Amino acid sequence: MVERLWAGWRIPSMVEDQQAAVAGIADSSGTAAGGETGLSLFEAILQAGLPDEQTHIVHRGERVFAILNRYPYSTGHVLVLPYRAVADLEDLDPDERRELWDAVHRAVVAVKAAFSPDGVNVGANLGEGAGPSVYDHVHIHVLPRWRSDTNFMTAIADVRVLPQSLQDCWERLTAAWPP
pLDDT of residue 80: 98
Q: Identify which has the larger pLDDT, 30 or 100.
A: 100
Q: Structural domain of residue 10, as residue ranges? A: 3-176
The residue annotated as part of the active site, out of 56, 77, 139, 141, is 139
The CATH number for 164's domain is 3.30.428.10
pLDDT tens digits, 38-95:
888 999 999 999 999 999 999 999 999 999 998 888 889 999 999 999 999 999 999 9
**Region 142-171 average pLDDT:** 76
Domains: count for the chain: 1
φ, ψ for residue 47 (rounded to 5)? -90, 0
Residue 155: per-residue pLDDT: 53
Is 139 marked active-site?
A: yes
User: How many angstroms separate the CA atoms of 119 and 149, rounded?
Assistant: 11
Q: Count the residues in the chain.
A: 179
The per-residue DSSP string of 105-174 comes to HHHHHHHHHHH--SEEEEE---SGGG--S--SS--EEEEEE-TTSS-HHHHHH-EEEE-S-HHHHHHHHH
Q: Is residue 67 within 8 Å of 45, Cβ to Cβ?
A: yes
Which residue type does 40 have?
Answer: S
In this prediction, residue 134 carries a pLDDT of: 82
Of the pLDDT bands very low, low, confident and very high (cuts 50, 70, 90), residue 28 is very low
pLDDT band at 30 (very low <50, low <70, confident <90, very high): very low
Q: Are 149 and 143 in contact (CB under 8 A)?
A: no
State mean pLDDT over 9-37: 47
Instruction: Please answer whether residues 163 and 8 qualify as being in contact, where contact means their C-beta atoms are separated by less than 8 angstroms.
Output: no
Sheet holding 78-82, edge to edge: 57-60, 64-68, 78-82, 140-145, 119-123
Q: pLDDT tens for residues 103-148? A: 999 999 999 999 999 999 999 988 888 876 787 899 999 999 988 7
Task: Characterize the bridge pairing of strands 57-60 and 3-6.
Answer: unpaired
Answer yes or no: is pLDDT of 33 > 80: no
pLDDT computed for residue 7 by the predictor: 55
User: pTM of the predicted model, to two decimals?
Assistant: 0.77
* Torsion sign across C-alpha atoms 112, 114, 118, 123: negative
